[in-house]
A and B are shown apart, each in its own frame.
Chain A
Amino acid sequence: MNPNPQVYGVPETWTYSYINGGLETDAAKALKIQKAKVPRWNYDPDNVGYWSSQLREGITEGKITQNVPIDKTVCAVGMGRDCPFATMGYFRRRADTETPSDVMFNSVASVGSGGVINGFLWEMRDDSSYGTYNLLSAGGGQIDEKQMEFRCWAPESNSIRNTNKQNGNYFIAPYTYYQLKTFIASVEVNVCDSDDVPDDPTISGVVPQATWRPIDTWKNSYSTHKITGFRLNFARANAILDNGGRITYSRPTPPSSYRYSVPCGFGLLDEIRFDDEYDYKRYMYALFNDSASGGSWNTVIFKPFTDTVWNSSVHRVAFMGMYDIFNGDLKYLPSAVWYQIDYNDDVYEKLCRAAATFGFIFVTDGALTLPSAMNTDNICFPVINDEGIAHGDYTRGADNLNNSIYNADSTHDVNYNPTTPKDTNTYSLTTSFNNVGHVASTTKAYVINGNGIQGLSNELWTIIDNLLVNPSDVENLYNLSLDTFLTNNPIDAIVSIKKFPLSSVPHGENLENVYLGKVQTSAAAYPLALQQARYNFTSIPIFPKFGNCFLDYAPYTKMQLYVPFCGTIDIDAADFMGRNLSVEMVIDFITGTVTAYVLANQLVVTSLTGTCAIDIPITGTEQATVNSAYESAAISERQTRASNIVSEFAGRFAHPIKSMLHPISSQGSYTKEKLQQAASVYELTHMNMPLRQIGNASPLNSWALEFVCRLIIYYPDGECISFNATNEPSLITDKVDAFGAVNGFATVETDALKNFTGYTQASDVDLSGVSATDTEKEMILNLLQSGVYL
């Protein structure tokens, strides 16, 4: 967004506030408020009207149109016709008012005729003393019409007074840069403490007792009370957003020698309206009550005027834009109506909408001192249209997230568009991987070699054999008890044995004895170090073979990628052209599964899954399963094998195992019947054991293929294409040239025909500039569309 240089000059002429007077402070800089450079605030004959003349000229010389925003980019605060300021006037009570029908207004400071400039954020200073701000508080004490004109915001040529040969507009400095979240306004109303308010508070000495409260407080707690005023109380927001998107508010604490280091005015918008019928003119005034003594700094007060003279400590203005709330007309305006407004939801909404027209973020619960997230219910955002004008609509709470202000930082944001939220996504070209640590479980995982497995199996059989012959020895040696193996079958203490296609599965440093249940065997193995490991494959740079033309991409060039244990996947050449294709393979050592991530440079594009581990049979049943793709062994055969393991153990232990295996007893011998009974029990307890690999392709099959990733590329063939010994293609230059000379190559380009050579065919041509007859032009077009040689 760039403020109109015709009005404001080029950006080189802007500066942070102004040197003297306190604006050039860190606070002002933090607010990033900029205004046109002015050499000095005081009288400078060489620079009188330096920048204001541009504004004046804008009005008088037609550069600025009345009632039309100059430039939405300079509409710092978004105020428009609907803003109360647009129809605000300054009134002084007529000293001779006697009847209600008399107009209340004594005199109104004139700002002349003509329009005003929309959307400026102004600062005004008194012309009486150098180095001070003196807005409507009139610190200098001058209260006359001429002086009042200096307090006009509209840089009207007619309003310029040459008091002391100074240009009245000299002191008006428009702010051209503004951070949208710099100011937060609290909507407040002046709530009467009681209903006992005189009907005519203009009676000398009688002033309604009222307290400024947030409008929500009026609504929730004092809705039976009337209000006598409305204001926006401002705080400077730090405009710092934390990760939660919260704005923090704070009030600046300037040194006592400084005025408040914030802009002290509003840009006024809309044309000046004239109401000749009432013989007065409504003008727009800024209402900053900037008192050095503290007071209600940065406060905009909309309060009816009561005094007969301008009183610097009590501002009075007529809020013309809200006269409908006052339920009066401008001609009549009985003062009683001015001062007292009853609560109803309609009034509440109108006041909030009035606040929204200023274009500032505002709160209705008075929470100006606490950090708040921008999507909380106490915060309201004005809705600003594409002209940069706020018309009273606003969002609240969660709806703020859809308001374009939410993502905009400042009016100088080149991407700022009042109606288009800024794209706040963060884009990246890399994918990150996690290092997965050990996952706790109730089982124990060992890394063991083939000899270790054999040794374990032998030891298990030794235990069984010795139990049959010398059970006491085995009991003493292994401290057998009812729950030694935690199951009724020592084999079941082995959950799985898997073989991985690796030289070595990552493991701990020290060998340790394998435990089966509570039995410490003599078999040695390493503890499993990680349950998951990642393996990288070398990159395959993908190069175009046909000069990076359509032949290098689908469907002409087709690619497939084979990943070990995972199979084959189609690859889209467009995803990888000019990039490195690589694979990251993640192996799970508990499940034996593998996931292969395919990356284009450092970005994961797709993935494949498979199983790389071979399940090693543990029991005879599993052995039968592995040996044949389709298990068709007789149940009796399985029972016989299984029972060799289970029967005697069952006979050695008491209830409940014994009861499960009744009628097997501790007889120490077995008969065929007992075997069958035992087997039947075994069947009951173990038939649900997964019969692995029946009917499914075993991972062992994938081990037969190479352990490399292979990119298979299918190239197109044709008259203009040749291949080398390894089937890498290239274009035959001569044949391509010959083809191009006769046919040209497909393209879509829009340019002057002089930039093309050889065969050229156009879909459309702009023949302006060809001084031919219509018939001839049609012939030209037809020829160009059918192809010519340039």
Chain B
Amino acid sequence: MTCYLYNISADSRQLVKVDNSTPYTEARTAVKPTAPLDIITPTFIFDYSAAALACNYLYCYEFERFYFVKNIAVDTAGRISITCAIDVLQTYSAAIKNCRATVIRTATGGKPTMYVDNKFPVYPSKKVVTSTTSTETSGSLNADGGYCYVLNTIGGTSNS
């Protein structure tokens, strides 16, 4: 079995952590498993290598899968055993990108949307108030008008 060892700093939730241009720390062959090996949480045994001790990410050529390095143990007989857990995001990143999903949070738009966002930092009670005005267009409103009284009387001739 051939494995490629990496040292990466990407967040584990990152979909793509390594690509073809990412340099690997070491390529190891003749990996010897300790026991029956599963593809989800395998443990690989390598010949001792100081560089291997620094890796935190692994690609298994035969499994065609990427793994997080969970633990490295120095074993007897000049061996180290590397316990791994599968990274499904990196392994299936191309297929995942083509999947259709209902997304409920995304940074794509760059700003809040019309959907109420309970995570967005808004003070629960505080409000800041301002105002603007609208004026009567003809300028007729006046507290001290001239002919501004309406006298209603009995008598005379009614208004036509």
Question: Which A residues are closer than 8 A to B by beta carbons?
Answer: 438, 440-450, 452-453, 456, 485-487, 492-505, 507, 514-520, 525-528, 535-540, 546-551, 553, 556, 558, 564, 581-583, 585, 589-590, 613, 616, 703, 706-721, 723, 726-729, 731, 736-737, 739-741, 743-773, 775-776, 779-780, 783-784, 786-790
Contacts and interface: CB of A to CB of B under 8 A. Distances in A.
Contacts of A748: 102-104, 115
A444 B157 contact: yes
B151 A445 contact: yes
A748 B117 CA distance: 11
Given A756-B108, A771-B95, A746 B119 contact: yes
Contacts of B143: 501, 703, 707
Given A500-B150, A753-B101, A538 B145 contact: no
Contact of A585 (B15, B136, B139, B150): B136
Contacts of B156: 444, 514-515, 520
Contacts of A556: 122
Contact of A525 (B128, B130, B141, B151): B151
Contact of A758 (B108, B119, B150, B157): B108
A699 to B, nearest CB: 12
A714 B111 CA distance: 21
A517 B150 contact: no
B104 to A, nearest CB: 5
A442 B154 CA distance: 7
B32 to A, nearest CB: 24
Given A716-B127, A764-B102, 9 more contacts: A448-B147, A493-B153, A496-B152, A517-B154, A711-B131, A712-B131, A753-B97, A758-B107, A765-B100
B113 interface: yes
Nearest to B107: A758
Contact of B145 (A492, A502, A539, A747): A502
B155 A549 contact: no
Interface in B71-88: 86, 88
B92 to A, nearest CB: 5
B15 A788 contact: yes
A760 B148 contact: no
B148 A715 contact: no
Nearest to A723: B128
Contacts of A447: 147-151
B34 interface: no
Nearest to A440: B158
B106 interface: yes
B14 A500 contact: no
Contact of B97 (A450, A754, A779): A754
Nearest to A442: B158
Given A497-B152, A525-B151, A540-B132, A770 B107 contact: no
Contact of B103 (A721, A747, A766, A767): A747
Given A450-B149, A518-B155, A739-B120, A750 B105 contact: no
B154 A443 contact: yes
A710 B153 contact: no
Contact of B140 (A453, A504, A715, A773): A504
Contact of B155 (A517, A553, A788, A790): A517
B51 interface: no
Given A446-B153, A500-B148, A727-B129, A746 B104 contact: yes
B86 to A, nearest CB: 7
B141 A502 contact: yes
Given A495-B154, A729-B128, A780-B88, A751 B100 contact: yes
Contacts of A564: 141
Contact of A486 (B89, B147, B154, B160): B154
A765 B128 CA distance: 41
Contact of A718 (B98, B123, B159): B123
A457 to B, nearest CB: 11
Interface in B13-34: 13-15
B128 A550 contact: no
B106 A789 contact: no
A759 B98 CA distance: 17
Q: 6 closest A-B pairs (Cβ-Cβ)?
A: A515-B156, A758-B107, A744-B105, A746-B117, A727-B130, A549-B112
- Tell me which of B112, B129, B142, B155 has the highest count of chain A C-beta atoms within 10 A of its own C-beta: B155
A528 B149 CA distance: 10
A719 to B, nearest CB: 4
B89 A788 contact: yes
A375 B112 CA distance: 54
B36 interface: no
Contacts of A503: 139-142, 145-146, 148
Contacts of B126: 716-717
Contacts of B92: 770-772, 776, 780
Given A486-B155, A500-B150, A718-B121, A728 B130 contact: yes
B158 A717 contact: no
Contacts of B1: none
A438 B14 contact: no
A762 B107 CA distance: 12
With most chain A CB atoms within 10 A of its CB, the pick from B11, B139, B152 is: B152
Contact of B148 (A499, A539, A582, A744): A499
5 contacts: A499-B148, A535-B137, A581-B134, A707-B143, A740-B107
Nearest to A765: B101
Contacts of B157: 444, 515
B127 A718 contact: no
Contacts of A438: 159-160
Contacts of B153: 443-446, 493-495, 514-516
A572 B16 CA distance: 45
Contacts of A728: 130
A446 B157 CA distance: 11
Nearest to B118: A746
Nearest to B131: A712
Contacts of A515: 153, 155-157
A493 B155 contact: yes
A537 B14 CA distance: 56
A280 B97 CA distance: 68
B107 A767 contact: no
A550 B112 contact: yes
A753 to B, nearest CB: 5
A406 to B, nearest CB: 40
B100 A766 contact: yes
Nearest to B146: A449
Contacts of B119: 743, 746
Given A486-B154, A756-B103, A449 B148 contact: yes
A528 B150 contact: yes
A460 to B, nearest CB: 12
Given A709-B134, A764-B101, A616 B158 contact: no
A642 B108 CA distance: 81
B128 A715 contact: yes
Nearest to A508: B159
Contacts of A709: 133-135
Contacts of B146: 449, 503-504
